Amino acid sequence: MDQLSPDECSVTPAAQIGVITEVHGPVVVIRCQRLPPLRRALKAFVDGETYLFEVHQHLDQHHARAITLHRTGGLCRGRPVYDTGAPLHVPVSIDCLGRLLNIFGEPLDGAPALETDEYRNIHTPPTALWDAVDTGDILQTGIKVIDLLCPFVRGGKTGLFGGAGVGKTVLVMEFMHAVAALHSGVSVFAGVGERIREGHELWHEMREAGVMDQTLMCFGQMDESPGVRFRIGLSALTYAEYLRDSVAREVLFVMDNIFRFVQAGSEISSLLGRMPATVGYQPTLISEVAELQERILSTRSGAITAVEAVYVPADDMTDPAVDAILGHLDSAVVLSRAQAGKGIYPAVEPLQSASRAMDRQTVGDHHYAVAEGVREQLARYRELEDIIAMLGIEELSRQDRRIVLRARKLQRYLTQPFNVIASHTGIAGVSVPLEETLADCEAFLRGDYDELGEDDCYMRGSMRDRAK
């Protein structure tokens, strides 16, 4: 059931289903008069506050194990538990844009609660195959290195892979700005396990960048129950589906960070007593990731394009969690600590990043040829770096020296100042159309800018803007 009526969301004392018999951290065991269905939302009342639980296991005919979606302070054995009559659901309304909400759709920004009679279940099945649409179009972002080498697929899924501190969140913010500015779309941001400080800074930066009015932010903070961190992605995705179906616009769904979703699932799995699998991850890792990813689809009403920041443990791309996420993606943008150390921002590693859209049929012969030419120059430069470090560039042949100098300029040309951090850097952000990026890169490959200094290519828009 996608939508719930207000009557289905009401709770009365007559709906008592059982009592709490055990409390183990965020896990509670409930002795039930009748077993509630799995994923049913239950409630308890403690000192005037409402505590929500989600049923995860049936232990026997009269006992169920549930995960709390609140802190557990104040819970005790014998506490009555009530059936809500429905799974976890959120209020949906067009007024959700510009708001900061929690997993239950309650405000975190100090503004009044959403006024609506419409609710949606966060556990809806994916869109039926006959209703899904594969657009296959390119979604331009105005970010040179992305549009050139690993373009986004409209209605597809893109992962930003990188360790801590390489610029994933800033790049995500710029994508949200691009969708609002270039495509008149809306963005839904899911903050999974965000630090309160990070969430506060992001909220204010989005307002300063002028895109908060077209953005909905849902936060499951780091200090909250693992159940909240595990379900906040589904809650935010429910809002994205609502905007896609009701507003019929371009929707950008952003998750930062999906690795914390996996971590929360692993924590819950251990609390439920499941035996861990590979590298300590939960045995249900593949199905849990798929449950989230398979709901990110486009329909005839609109498209949901997902951008997911993925923390890479110890910069190891073979980690089971990273591998499980990678299998669902259309584009993979790898952020490199080495690039960031050189001052190359965005710190995209062009030789490791890839997109399924990078073929002649999708991007066209011209785009494909220019992108391959740029990759070839950068790859040859990478091969020659060790020789340059040991012997110096003077020991290279004339042709290799020319390749190195052009590659270094291309590397710096693919840097770009961002709009969302212009107030911090003092450099006005730029958005570069794909046609100008292709023309500039083609000119670099021909040698039109061989006489230009590397500093003249760094942190600029198109070369045409430089000429002005």
- How many whole angstroms from its chain centre is CA 302? 19
Q: Which of 188, 232, 221 is nearest to 99 (CA)?
A: 188
Q: How do the residues of the chain divide into helix, strand and coil, expressed in percent and rounded to 5?
A: 40, 25, 35
Pairing between strand 3-4 and 40-46?
unpaired
DSSP state of 59: -
Burial status of residue 352 (CB atoms within 10 A of its CB: 0-12, 13-18, 19 or more): middle
Residue 45 CB neighbour total at 10 angstroms: 14
Yes or no: say if 440 and 414 are a contact pair by the CB < 8 Å rule: no
State how far the Cα of 409 lies from the Cα of 404, in Å rounded to an integer: 9
Q: Which residues are catalytic?
A: 168, 194-195
Q: Which residues contact 443 (CB under 8 A, 6 or more apart)?
A: 449, 463
- Rounded Cα–Cα distance for residues 260 and 405 (Å): 41
Tokens of 435: 């046609």
Q: Which helix (H) or strand (E) holds 265?
A: helix 258-271
- Reference 16, options 37, 33, 40; nearest CA is 33
Structure tokens at 96: 């959700």
At residue 155's C-alpha, the angle toward residues 233 and 376, to 5°, is 110
